[in-house]
Structure formats: C-alpha cells, structure tokens
C-alpha cells in the first residue's frame, strides 16, 4: 500500500519518520519547534527568494512583541545569505555561500560563531546530500518521499523543469 501523501506530495512527519527509520536512519534533526527553547521568547522570520542561479535567504529573530515581523526595517538579529550552485562536471558541483549579519555587540565573536555554525551545518548537509546522491545512483527508479518542508524545493524543481522544456532543441 502506498504511503498517504499530503499537500505537494509530502508525507505527514510521523509517516516520514517511520520511512526514514526503515531506511536505516537512527535519527532525524528537527529545529525551530515550539517548546524547544523556553528560555527564549522570540519572534522569528525566514524569507527565501529562489532564482535558478542562486537562492537568497533572509532570516532572523527579535524579542517577542518588540516589532512588526512584516516591517523590512524590523529590529533584532538578521542574517542574509547567498547560496549559489554551479556545475563542475556531469556529476559534481561547486557550492558557494556567504552570510552577512547585523551584530550590535561583540562583532568579532558573533561573526566567528555565525561562520562556525554555518560551516558545521553545511558539513552535516553535505554528508546527507552525498549519501542521498549515492542512493539515487544505486536505486535510480526509487520513489522520492517528500515531507511538508519539501514544498519549496519541489516548486523549484518544477520551475527548472519548465525552463528546460521551454529551451529550443
């Protein structure tokens, strides 16, 4: 029986977790879940702008109730990121990223922390992406299982697919 897919072909999280466990994964990292940071009361935002050649991400947080999340001049801690990927060979790519922040105090420490944490996150992502790619090569006809957070990447894939189909032969 096929799994129960939801909006944009995504699985409910509990179903996706079961499938991940069946595939041999012993854990899944989740972030930004209410209740995991009771010591901080924050309003957070993340805006992602997709372009075929790159992605721009604007994310940040401010003390809850201290500003309007819809105001581009809002206060709090901001991070703006640029992520670009360009092919190297048929099966490899170059990945470029940069991040800018607006620290008010201890600028050097904040910059060092942002760089270290970003690099650690990308190293974790690299490990997962490379493992996924090996599995895609090993099981080329395997069905991709998406969860709700895959909605944005799925839309990006459809945009790229339409652009490729529209190219003259």
Q: If you compute the radius of gyration of the chain from its CA atoms, what whole number of angstroms results?
A: 19
Helix (H, G, I), strand (E, B) or coil at 96: strand
What confidence score (pLDDT) does residue 89 get?
92
Whether 99 maps to a domain, the answer reads yes
What confidence score (pLDDT) does residue 165 get?
92
Range of the domain at 86: 7-166
C-alpha span between 43 and 61 (Å, rounded): 6
CATH number, domain at 63? 3.90.380.10
- Among residues 46, 3, 22, the alpha carbon closest in space to that of 147 is found at 3
Indicate the number of domains in the chain. Answer: 1
CB 59 within 8 A of CB 69: no
Mean pLDDT lowest for which of 22-26, 107-111, 132-136, 160-164? Answer: 22-26
What confidence score (pLDDT) does residue 7 get?
45
> Could you report the per-residue pLDDT of 95-116, keeping only the tens digit for each?
898 888 888 888 888 888 888 8
């Amino acid at each position: 029986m096929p799994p129960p897919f939801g909006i944009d072909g995504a699985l409910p999280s509990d179903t996706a977790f079961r499938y991940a466990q069946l595939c041999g994964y012993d854990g899944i990292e989740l972030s930004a879940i209410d209740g995991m940071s009771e010591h901080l009361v924050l309003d957070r935002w993340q805006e992602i702008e997709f372009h075929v050649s790159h992605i721009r991400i604007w994310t940040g947080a401010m003390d809850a109730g201290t500003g309007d999340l819809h105001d581009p001049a809002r206060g709090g801690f901001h991070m703006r990121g640029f992520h670009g990927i360009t092919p190297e060979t048929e099966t490899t790519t170059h990945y470029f990223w940069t991040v800018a922040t607006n620290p008010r105090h201890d600028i050097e420490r904040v910059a060092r922390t942002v760089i270290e944490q970003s690099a650690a996150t990308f190293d974790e992502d690299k490990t997962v992406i490379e493992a996924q790619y090996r599995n895609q090569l090993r099981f080329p006809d395997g069905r991709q299982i998406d969860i709700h957070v895959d909605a944005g990447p799925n839309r990006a894939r459809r945009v790229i697919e339409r652009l490729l189909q529209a190219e003259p032969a």
